[in-house]
Amino acid sequence: MSCHVFITAEIGINHNGDPALACKMIQEAAEAGCDAVKFQKRTIDKVYTQEFLSSERKSPWGNTQRAQKEGLELGEKEYDRIHACCRECGIKWFASCWDVESQKFLRKYDLEYNKIASPVLTNLPLLECCAEEGKHTFLSTGMSSWEEIDAAVEIFRKRNCPFELMHCVSIYPTLPEEANLLMIETLRKRYSCKVGYSGHETGHLATLGAVALGAVSVERHFTLDRNMYGSDQKSSIEPSELREMVSLIRQMEKARGTGERVLTEKELAVRRKMRA
């Protein structure tokens, strides 16, 4: 079992369209000891219908869904800044794309990882576009049936693209009794692949349980302040919680051990006393 759990701070859209805020979050994640930060990328007119975009929604950017979605979206100039900021902070970054155009947009940055978010696991053209890049890809399985996960896995195996599944429950926030952590082992056995955990709970209980059960990666939504505007803020963890979580995960890595039956010198000393 691999010792090092790959920890991603999911910034997502919690930057609220502000690249300066995004860079502050990157810095916080790097200082907390995360391995990577993740964003979300959409081509608004590809992902949503015109009817939906014209519908009402109040936000800091206006009173329509289009105004809200466009207000949260980052463009090339902003991603250039994010790319530079991550290099300066010494942390990796990647993004979950919601359409083929967005996936192709990211290619200019030559990122090490890709991510398929739970809502788009059934977008087969997007999966094909992603798999053809041959990069290690995290596939979140929230709200998906076995048949849908089967189809996604088949695409990546057919392309010989490295991937790992991420157990995920798409409830925001997720209660402990809804986490269904034993699915980690179920996915591992069914697909003979690495399995991580993408959590939307508050606190650290389910995340630490996932690590104890062998999750090789963890992704958690991250914010500077849960009281900020945004649909993902309430199911996100703040900087002090992120630092605590990373520390606890590193301790849990050691606690879960190797699974091998080994009598250490410390235990042998106790054995000599107690079995004399």
Structure tokens at 165: 């599944």
- For 143, half-sphere exposure in the C-beta direction (CA atoms, 13 angstrom radius) is 10
Give the model confidence (pLDDT) of 119-147 as tens digits: 999 999 999 999 999 999 999 999 999 99
- pLDDT tens by residue, 48-81: 999 999 999 999 999 999 999 999 999 999 999 9
φ, ψ of residue 231 in degrees (nearest 5): -75, -20
Backbone torsions φ then ψ of 153, nearest 5 degrees: -60, -40
Region of 257 (left: φ > 0; alpha: ψ -120 to 50; beta: rest) is left
Give which of 47, 45, 35, 41 is closest to 9, Cα–Cα: 35
CATH of domain 6-274: 3.20.20.70
In this prediction, residue 1 carries a pLDDT of 46
CB 229 within 8 Å of CB 219: no
Query: With contact defined as beta carbons under 8 Å apart, do 199 and 218 qualify?
Result: yes
- At residue 237, the 3 state secondary structure works out as strand
Q: Please name the residues in contact with 238: beta carbons below 8 A apart, sequence gap of 6 or more.
A: 222, 223, 224, 225, 226
H helix runs in 114-264, sequence order? 124-131, 146-158, 183-191, 205-212, 239-256
- Both tokens of residue 155? 């695409």
Q: Rounded CA gap, 269 and 276, in Å?
A: 11
DSSP, res 174: P
Under 8 Å between Cβ of 116 and 163: no
Q: Where are the beta strands (DSSP E) in the chain?
A: 6-12, 36-41, 56-59, 62-64, 92-97, 113-116, 136-140, 163-168, 195-199, 217-221
Which residues of the chain have a pLDDT value below 50?
Answer: 1
- This prediction's pTM: 0.95
Burial state string for 93-102 with b = 16 or more CB within 10 A and e = fewer than 16: bbbbbbbbbb
Q: Where are the domains of the chain?
A: 6-274
